Structure 1
Amino acid sequence: MITRVANEPEDDEIVIEDLSQYNNFQNDVRENLLNANDNNAYWLFTRQNPTTPQIIVSGDAISLWTSNYDSNKPLKVIAHGWGRDGTSPVNTMITSAFLDVSDVNVIVVDWSDSASGNYVSASVRVPAVGRFLGIFLQWLIRTGGGNWDNVHLIGYSLGAHLVGNAGREVGGQPIRVTGLDPAGPFWSNPFALNKNSGRYVEAIHTNILSRGITEPIAHVDFYPNGGQMQPGCDTNQCSHSRSYQLFASSIRTNHFIGRECANLWQAIINQCNGRTFNMGNGILSKKGNGIYAVNTSSSWPF
């Protein structure tokens, strides 16, 4: 038995190994947690340097103190997915959206060393990468100042589970965590993004039953257009990527209005008429619960 997945690379169909590997997945994760090295790179963007990153080295106070990091401003942390790096479109699109509308610190997590290779090996490394991110954030706030009330973690695909692990590493202190179509294959396990990752955890599902996880995993789970093939898309990769495009648009306009659903099936068939709640945006004080359906259009700003 095989499954097909393309969470980040351009190829629309990538075959990964037999699903029987899942029997060893959690053991492999635990072994990797014991033996992994921190290969993450942390790229800081601010309004003073919106396109050229300053590299902050975990444990190197000078690299932090000589940067444009401002502890009085909110901190947005973005993690890409499988097979990508700090220049991935998810990073550039969301970074520019945040900096265009608000004066914040943005840290892009380049975990390309661990994200390389096949999907299974990258997945196994995710919890350790997330733990290292959590350790970095604790050091950052301790050394450079800041407040967990101002910390918003955002991750796409495998990056969603990465920031989920980071949030749990620091005891669920981040005020907000956003998962953008969290990766599906192999991720019905304790290492996935969940409600314990932050004080408010939100997931935007745009490619369920394929690259993205299907079941609700957060305080609030949004299923745009039924969470499956998105308007204007004819491939799963397009629909998977739509999650970060919708989120970037929501930062700028906050116009996606969800309607609460009684259950997941209602969301999938897009027949929900409950209370309203906006999808996405960058509001740190956002709170909510439930499953929501959202209708979007086929082109920017959707």
Structure 2
Amino acid sequence: MRPWLEFSLLPALCLSCLTSRNVLDTAERLFCEWNGTVDFSEFGIGSFDSSFWKCEPDSPKVIQPKFFYYTKERQNETQKYEVLSDYWTNGTEKFIQKTDFPEKLVVFTHGFVDSMDNGETTRWTEPARADLFNLSRPPSVLEFDWSNGAEDFWNYGRAATNTQVAGRLLGKFLYDVKLKNPSLKIHLVGHSLGSHVCGQAGFWLRTISNGSFEVDRIDGLDPAGPYFISDEAFKLYSKPEPLQPSTTTLAPEDNSSDSSSSFSSWSEGFENFDIKAWFKEFQAQFYEDKPVQVEIFKDQAAPVDSRLDPTDAKFVSVIHTNAFGFGVFENIGHLDIWPDGGRTQSGCQKFDLLDQFSKCSHRLAHDLWRVSISKPIEVTNLCPKNTSTTEISYENCPETKRHKNFLGYHAIPTKTKRFYYFNTTHVQGLQPRNEAEVAVRSTSIFIPLLILVSMTLSVLHCVKQRGNRQEGALPDVEQFADSTVYAEERISLSPPVQKADN
């Protein structure tokens, strides 16, 4: 991806996210035209068709997944010391044969436009590894990097499709590991799109082993929602919340109304901005060999066999921190936990007035999981089965000690599906980061205003300068007289001109 291309697209994305009445609808407009089937059987991952996913997945040779392996004995090394070769070479096979795994293997993987090798949003894995190695029975840790298939932020659709390829490659790797280590416990942990990578890995491990092997556990950290949920489901679940009565003294209604209408009129100026058409025209300049076609919401959710669901592991635990935004808004695990109601997190509400999307809330899921390793975090607010995900709150999910569970690493498998509300206020060690989000959104608002002000000042300055020049052009009698005398003196002082002899 060209850095300048990303920089060029950023303002349009910001404007769209800031002003669209249906932010999720805009975010999920994908640019693909694939209609066919690709066969990757040579890599041991089967084939894929376009019956649902309209973006053609990248080949494993393009994605080129990497594996980074850590053990407690080598935890103090600053470099990731074991980088496996591309899966279709012998490097991975040699690694499996020479490695003595402990009783448990924990696998981390990342989400959209992230990387396990070099990414701001995956730094949480470093303290998480340290905490895992401090346990009485420490596991080994493997980080799975599929960043080549998730790096183009302008084409989320392809990244979503690539979760299948990346996940099956991981599943094939785990199958080979289990052949040598049948008793090895496997615990997968994925953030955002990485959750679906984990789900696909579990699905593929079970498929190619004919049910002989299963992933023991998957932790989905705010699994990605866009393109994995249906348009109708979103409309059903995203009904506006009723206004709550307040005892706070409010400004007069007419002032409040004026303020609201003022923002509304400003916002409506961008309502007709068609980011779909803008992207299509922009991309056509660089990808003429692959014409772009828009693929919007589906009438149904992604097929179960291509997204995280309870059948992908013996136990699936999910932490929801940005539902209706970047995350799913459905209970998709055996155990689903909804911190602060699951939409926006208490430490990330500094700038959520504009829309539901919050990378801060989305990323807090892996911070919560990290903190849970060293100190078990109880969840006691069990929600009744008929509670809608829009209604998850302290009031609607009463506290119960009898059916308590734990958030994150120490979660206990349940016999029946359960979901809980959880208050993050008293959790220590969380580091919600909102600065980057605030900076980007603020920039997208104030830079156009700054440009307008600068242009206005420039025009006024030019007008003033032109006025000064016109005033300076008027003849001044005394100045003219002085200049005439000076010219005569220069002439009288000049040496006589000698005429040439004929």
TM-score by length of 1: 0.84
Structure 1 gaps, min length 5: 1-9
Give the direction of change, closer, same or farther, for the CA distance of 1:99–1:299 in structure 2 (3 Å limit): same
Give the direction of change, closer, same or farther, for the CA distance of 1:42–1:146 in structure 2 (3 Å limit): farther
Amino acid at match of 1:246: L
Give 1:33 shift.
5.7
* Alignment match, 2:287: none
Give 1:139 shift.
1.2
Contact conserved, 2:317 with 2:335, CA < 8 A, in 1?
yes
* Alignment match, 1:131: 168
Give 1:124 shift.
1.6
What is the aligned counterpart of 1:70 among 85, 95, 100?
Answer: 100
Runs of 4+ in 1 over 6 A off after TM superposition: 22-25
Cα deviation digits, residues 30-80 of structure 1 (max 9, x gap): 8746954461111101112224321234443333344xx433420001111
The total of aligned residue pairs comes to 288
Give 1:129 shift.
0.6
- The root-mean-square deviation of aligned C-alpha atoms, in Å, is 3.0
Structure 1 stretch displaced more, 40-49 or 229-238: 229-238
Structure whose residues are more often helix by fraction? 2
Give the direction of change, closer, same or farther, for the CA distance of 1:269–1:22 in structure 2 (3 Å limit): farther
Give the secondary-structure state (helix, strand or coil) at the position aligned to 2:160.
Answer: helix
The whole-number CA distance in structure 2 between the counterparts of 1:34 and 1:246 is 32
Give the secondary-structure state (helix, strand or coil) at the position aligned to 1:196.
Answer: helix
Structure 1 stretch displaced more, 205-214 or 229-238: 229-238
Q: How does 1:8-87 map to 2 (within 5 A)?
A: 19=28, 21=30, 27=51, 29=53, 32=56, 35-37=59-61, 39-50=64-75, 51-53=78-80, 54-57=82-85, 58=87, 59-60=90-91, 61-66=93-98, 69-87=99-117
Cα deviation digits, residues 159-194 of structure 1 (max 9, x gap): 000000000111171111110000110012122100
Amino acid at match of 2:197: L
Amino acid at match of 1:124: T
Structure showing greater Rg? 2
* Alignment match, 2:227: 186
The whole-number CA distance in structure 1 between the counterparts of 2:127 and 2:53 is 31
Matched, 1:301 2:429: yes
The whole-number CA distance in structure 2 between the counterparts of 1:99 and 1:24 is 46
Structure whose residues are more often strand by fraction? 1
Give the secondary-structure state (helix, strand or coil) at the position aligned to 1:232.
Answer: helix
Q: How does 1:79-228 map to 2 (within 5 A)?
A: 79-87=109-117, 88-101=122-135, 102-118=137-153, 119-143=156-180, 145-147=181-183, 150-171=185-206, 173-188=214-229, 189-190=302-303, 191-228=306-343
TM-score by length of 2: 0.52
Amino acid at match of 1:192: R
Structure 1 stretch displaced more, 86-95 or 213-222: 86-95
Amino acid at match of 2:364: R
Amino acid at match of 1:158: L
Give 1:291 shift.
1.2
Give the secondary-structure state (helix, strand or coil) at the position aligned to 1:268.
Answer: coil
Give 1:141 shift.
2.3
Give the secondary-structure state (helix, strand or coil) at the position aligned to 1:226.
Answer: coil
